[in-house]
Chain A
């Protein structure tokens, strides 16, 4: 391999390691602030957390109902014909649990929130940084991580968790609707019985952990790129693209960790 390629690879690897180090430090600082300052300025921070939950959760509900409908149709549409061919139609509910509850539901919810709210985070914080608002907070004795980051992290973690639950419920319901329209010989009772039998306590626990992890890390990645480094206004759009790309990578890595957890347990 030519030396210029190895140099480039080494540089990229080094930069990636630096980013991981920066993100790790930022995540730890944020966790520290969440724990240390959970009673500081409650009357300012709690309304901001509610605002962020509304932004990363409630405001996205209409889009999520549409996506839930589409997801149910897609999964059932693809699986019904295959399962019917091999006479395994009784596995429809189990398929929905594996595909929607364990994998697609949380991942899709995370990607949608990353696209809608994560990008806004980078742009808002990057602009605030570029306009000197962060220095203004420090001059007023207000911890920028506490005021700007903590509400976004908590709001996004709870937002993604709630939206995933709605997405899954919507997709399961629309899945049955599509199966019914395709004349699949399955009563609603049998369908939901299959789903209930396929679900274990681990599914609920890991679903909660996974979605909260998605929310936490998406918020960390987007806030880190918006806030942690001094920015000029013209750099904000470039940084937003980088943050979204890294957000997707982080979500896929978290998902891989949870797949391993499912396999181990």
Chain B
């Protein structure tokens, strides 16, 4: 059974539901796959990902997440929603809470735990993310590189089976980019955090180069269209000008 199954889906903009950003998406993601959805700015990557997380309903078409139609998602389907982890571009941490409180919040809320009862699990995850020294600091006082990592920790605390990451490398320094690529590759193959079980991953990107890998699958969002590209070989041989742009291939320039 596919994890994500979209048939003829049209995606509305999160900020303006009357505006369709992507139309006629046919996409299927099976368990354990690692997808990279690339596209230029304002191509609707974030909106598509929000829809994939079940946070929005499609304007047209059908979308099933773990075999459940997302149109019927309500309180009763909360357990299904918690199988999905979402990491926003920029982290979207809660500014009133410290980094440790941010990470603990979903666990405490969903399992009705006191701060003390959640502390061990939170500490272990903070340690894994190298965030322990920043545990008691509020997000406003933490560099963007670490905020993004705290957002990853917050999403992972409930151990979701599907992880959706909105442009996770945007604005990160070289060392942090390497860390992210290594970590995502590990959890895609099976990390100790998940007892070696592979996690299904979907990331959006505005630069394809860091994501080069023969195991990953690629799709392109451009001019309201969702185009499945295939593996890295297909990406490299694609003739689409936007793909070349996203690969930062030197395009021919005209001199006057």
Contact = CB atoms under 8 A, between A and B. Distances in A.
Contacts of A142: 105-106, 109-110
Contacts of A131: 92, 95
B81 A141 contact: yes
A132 B114 contact: no
B109 A147 contact: yes
A41 B115 CA distance: 12
Interface in B98-140: 105-106, 108-110, 112-114, 117
Contact of B109 (A135, A140, A230): A140
B32 to A, nearest CB: 22
A43 B108 contact: yes
Nearest to B157: A140
B88 interface: yes
A135 B88 contact: yes
Interface in B123-181: 154-155, 158
B99 to A, nearest CB: 14
Contact of A141 (B82, B94, B117): B82
B94 A133 contact: yes
B240 interface: no
A81 B90 CA distance: 66
A140 B90 CA distance: 16
A128 to B, nearest CB: 8
7 contacts: A132-B88, A133-B94, A136-B93, A140-B109, A140-B155, A142-B105, A142-B110
Interface of A: 40-44, 124, 127-128, 131-133, 135-136, 138-142, 147, 230
User: Top 7 A-B pairs ranked by shortest CB distance?
Assistant: A139-B86, A136-B92, A140-B106, A132-B92, A41-B109, A43-B114, A141-B82
Interface of B: 14-15, 50, 53, 55, 78, 81-82, 86, 88, 90, 92-96, 105-106, 108-110, 112-114, 117, 154-155, 158
